[in-house]
């Protein structure tokens, strides 16, 4: 009788302890503000399907973001990361979106800015988001905790990249974060091929960042894709989500997935 009772007590203890662990880890997950932001209800479904390639939780964790920071997102495009950052920084932080210049003479850039402004005005979650021009000073000197950019360096190759990096350095506080994700070219790729393909070498990204005073702190393979050979007919735009060749060899490029990407963390001394 005593043996049976001991067995029952052990059974109930084990069962209750297992239940406790499930509840504890479930609570920990729901209490994580970054995980909550990644899972927020305002994200577009077509954007969430890209998470498997873009790894937003791991990427923003690597960039050491905190929810109370003032963050600039450079060239946010359609707002893929804006959806996450606006939610993450909503309570105690600030998000500044540095989009294409409002008065740009380029119709594509102007339309993209207008569409982004419509998105920002569509939901209360974006009420605190401030929009500035990409070529502006971004914010007051030394006022920003982090500046992030995702898959944009290839659009800035040349003087524009110098301007953006210089303005970024000025806007950041000492110790501030500069996080970069970009399509990664093979080592030794020429500037001409970088511009045509949309892939940029790590060496070039680091060289320009260090030129403007940044210190490389760490690099990560979070967004690496070893299946990407980087020799596609339409450059990086051959791969998802662009699929520039449309139905031609579509299954092949979908199987590769999105591009191989560098993930670099710099800081302002």
232 by Cβ neighbours in 10 Å (0-12 / 13-18 / 19+) ranks as: buried
| % of the chain residues with pLDDT over 70 | 89
Q: Give the list of residues 6+ apart from residue 264 with CB closer than 8 angstroms, or none.
A: 179, 180, 181, 182, 202, 205, 206, 209, 216, 218, 219, 220
Is a pLDDT exceeding 60 seen at residue 250? yes
Q: What is the rounded average pLDDT of the residues 113-132?
A: 97
**What is the rounded CA–CA span in Å between residue 90 and residue 41?**
14
Alpha-carbon gap, residue 204 to 154, rounded angstroms: 11
CATH number of this structure's domain 33-267, picked from the four choices 3.40.50.300, 3.40.30.10, 3.30.1490.100, 3.40.50.150: 3.40.50.150
All residues at 6 or more sequence positions from 74 whose CB lies less than 8 Å from its CB, including other chains? 98, 134, 147, 148, 149, 152, 164, 168
CB 216 within 8 A of CB 210: yes
**CA 32, CA 173: separation in Å to the nearest integer?**
26
Res. 225 pLDDT band, cuts 50 70 90: very high
Query: How does residue 71 score in pLDDT terms, banded at 50, 70 and 90?
Result: very high
Domain boundaries, the chain: 1-31, 33-267
Q: Is the pLDDT of residue 238 over 70?
A: yes
Q: Determine the average pLDDT of the residues in 243-263.
A: 98
Phi, psi of 131 (to 5 degrees): -105, 130
Q: Are strands 261-267 and 70-74 parallel, antiparallel or unpaired?
A: unpaired
11 burial via Cβ count (<10 Å: 0-12, 13-18, 19+): exposed
> Which residue in this structure is represented by tokens 């998000």?
95
C-alpha 5: how far from chain center = 56
Token pair for 62? 């690597």
* Two structure tokens written together for 2: 């005593």
Claim: this prediction has a pTM higher than 0.75: yes
Structure confidence by residue, pLDDT tens digits, 141-184: 999 999 999 999 999 999 999 999 999 999 999 999 999 999 99
The confidence score (pLDDT) of residue 27 equals 46
- Give per-residue pLDDT as tens, 180-219: 999 999 999 999 999 999 999 999 999 999 999 999 999 9
Per-residue confidence (pLDDT) for residue 10, from 0 to 100 = 54
């Amino acid at each position: 009788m005593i043996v049976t009772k001991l067995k029952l007590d052990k059974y109930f203890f084990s069962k209750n302890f297992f239940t406790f662990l499930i509840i504890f880890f479930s609570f920990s997950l729901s209490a994580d503000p970054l995980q909550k932001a990644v899972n927020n209800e305002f994200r577009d479904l077509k954007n969430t399907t890209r998470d498997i390639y873009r790894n937003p939780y791991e990427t923003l964790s690597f960039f050491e973001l905190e929810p109370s920071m003032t963050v600039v997102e450079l060239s946010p495009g359609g707002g893929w990361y804006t959806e996450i950052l606006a939610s993450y920084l909503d309570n105690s932080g600030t998000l500044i979106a540095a989009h294409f210049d409002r008065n740009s003479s380029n119709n594509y850039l102007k339309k993209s800015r207008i569409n982004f402004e419509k998105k920002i005005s569509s939901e209360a979650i974006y009420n605190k988001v401030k929009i500035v021009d990409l070529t502006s000073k971004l914010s007051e000197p030394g006022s920003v905790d982090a500046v992030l950019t995702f898959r944009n360096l290839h659009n800035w190759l040349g003087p524009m990249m110098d301007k953006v990096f210089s303005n970024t350095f000025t806007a950041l506080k000492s110790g501030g974060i500069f996080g970069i994700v970009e399509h990664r070219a093979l080592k030794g790729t020429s500037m001409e091929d970088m511009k045509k393909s949309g892939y940029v070498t790590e060496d070039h990204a680091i060289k320009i960042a260090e030129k403007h005073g940044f210190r490389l702190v760490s690099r990560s393979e979070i967004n690496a894709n070893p299946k990407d050979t980087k020799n596609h007919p339409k450059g990086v735009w051959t791969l998802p989500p662009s699929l520039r060749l449309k139905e031609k060899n579509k299954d092949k490029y979908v199987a590769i997935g999105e591009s191989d990407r560098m993930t670099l963390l710099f800081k302002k001394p």
